[in-house]
Amino acid sequence: MVTLTIDGKKVTVRKLSTVLDAARKLNIPIPTLCHHPELSPYGGCRLCIIEIKDLARPVTACTTFAREGMEVITTSPYLEKLRKTTLELLLSDHPNDCMVCERAGDCTLQELAYFYDIRENRFVGEKRPFIKKDENPFVERAMEKCILCGQCVRVCDEIQGVGAIDFAYRGLKTKICPPFEKDLDCEFCGQCVAVCPTGALTGKMWAQKGRQQDVRTVDTVCPYCGCGCNISLHVRRNEVIRVSSKEDTINEGWLCAKGRFGYEFIHNSDRLTKPLIRISPKEGFEFSSQSPSFNPPPGKGGNGGVRSSPLTPHNSRFKEVSWDEAFDYIAKRLKEIKDSYGPDSIGGLSSARCTNEENFLFQKFIRAVIGTNNVDHCARY
């Protein structure tokens, strides 16, 4: 452990902590654009510049280890002037179209420009153009807004292990792009979108779906797999318009492509929301007394997720039933099959979307109740 003083306050942190870590522990705000606690230190934005007693020149807090007895100053007119110059430079190469930007209100750069009150800029000059449009349905790249903090490059390499993007070119022409500046063609996990501090990388699915202030977030657990990543649903007018994840969760804010982008099923008309029983016209209306209709569930042109055209095998139809009816039917049919053909004529397939406990119960059911070892799991094949 080392003890240092920051802005006159003493703090003790673990060895190999940076001065930035120590300042955050004291809740002392130091502006940063390229720092991410889970990614390797970068030192690109130069905003976390601080002064250390007996050092000739200011240094960046994110790339300086805290040392015993260090005396740090995080703010002074001189430091704020340096930060302001850096921000002015950054904004002189930025479209400054916050009015229509997807990230307005949720953008670190915008926030810093606001706090540093940058209305007029001493610097004007060439800006980087970017016109490329990717084909993919997930990640929108507006690279003229990119501040080259490198967080996307690091998350893709260090967390996702993909390395789909990197820096190219030099000088003001430097940009982050896929190899040979082709279209983005990757896993589309969207981790890069999640860490981007500006509007350079956004989700195509939530473009123009709502501003921050009309959005409510609901914390929940991702339904896709047993990992149980914590997610936050962004809800506007009772519609989920985006999924994100917070850093202080078991999954540290990281998500996969399905968790992040695969939420359209929630409001999809094809989604099954009630139990249905398949009936063929030949079998007649066995359950008609309890269920007056076998119309497909209401929706925009859907049919309960199942095609019911004349081309469907056996010309099946579906009937909406209650859970009790559904379970009774399953129990009845399983018993019939087991009695006439034996337990090994039945097999059970379980899903990665269930929890371990659910999967355990399912195999127990197949083995102990049905009496067969024909049980498997979708993640195994």
Which residue is associated with the tokens 């280890």?
65
Q: Which does 192 bind (CB under 5 to 8 A by kind): ligand SF4, other proteins, none?
A: ligand SF4
Closest residue by Cα to residue 152 from 135, 169, 134, 140: 140
The span of 52-60, 63-71, 182-190, 211-219 binding ligand SF4 (CB under 6 A) equals 182-190
**According to the binding rule CB under 6 A, does residue 177 interact with ligand SF4?**
no
**According to the binding rule CB under 8 A, does residue 75 interact with other proteins?**
no
Q: Residue 353 Cβ, how far from other proteins at the closest point, in Å?
A: 38
17, 22, 23, 44: which one contacts other proteins (CB under 8 A)?
44
- Spatial distance between the Cα atoms of 87 and 136, rounded to a whole number of angstroms: 32
Are 110 and 103 contacting, i.e. CB atoms less than 8 angstroms apart? Answer: yes
Which residue is associated with the tokens 């007895």?
69
Residue closer to ligand SF4, measured from CB, 71 or 158: 158
Q: Residue 26 Cβ, how far from other proteins at the closest point, in Å?
A: 21
Residues numbered 101 to 160 that lie near other proteins (CB under 8 A) are 122-123, 125-126, 147-148, 150
**According to the binding rule CB under 6 A, does residue 165 interact with ligand SF4?**
yes
86, 198, 202, 245: which one contacts other proteins (CB under 8 A)?
86
Q: Which does 107 bind (CB under 5 to 8 A by kind): ligand SF4, other proteins, none?
A: none
**According to the binding rule CB under 6 A, does residue 156 interact with ligand SF4?**
yes
Are 72 and 52 contacting, i.e. CB atoms less than 8 angstroms apart? Answer: yes
**According to the binding rule CB under 6 A, does residue 146 interact with ligand SF4?**
no
Task: Count CB atoms within 10 A of the CB of residue 44.
Answer: 18
Residue closer to other proteins, measured from CB, 4 or 229: 4
- Spatial distance between the Cα atoms of 40 and 26, rounded to a whole number of angstroms: 22
Question: Which residues, 6 or more positions from 85, have their beta carbon under 8 angstroms from its beta carbon?
Answer: none
- What angle (nearest 5°) sits at the alpha carbon of residue 321, between those of residues 319 and 326? 110
- Spatial distance between the Cα atoms of 43 and 64, rounded to a whole number of angstroms: 10
Phi, psi of 219 (to 5 degrees): -80, 135
Q: Contact letters (x/-) for ligand SF4, 114-143, by CB under 6 A?
A: -------------------------x----
Task: Count CB atoms within 10 A of the CB of residue 354.
Answer: 17
173, 237, 300, 380: which one contacts other proteins (CB under 8 A)?
173
Helix ranges (H only) for the chain are 19-25, 77-91, 108-115, 151-154, 191-195, 257-261, 323-341, 356-364
Residue closer to ligand SF4, measured from CB, 144 or 187: 187
Site residues, other proteins (CB under 8 A) = 18, 41-46, 49, 57-58, 60, 62-65, 81-82, 85-86, 89-90, 92-93, 122-123, 125-126, 147-148, 150, 166-167, 169-174
Site residues, ligand SF4 (CB under 6 A) = 139, 155-156, 160, 162, 164-165, 186-192
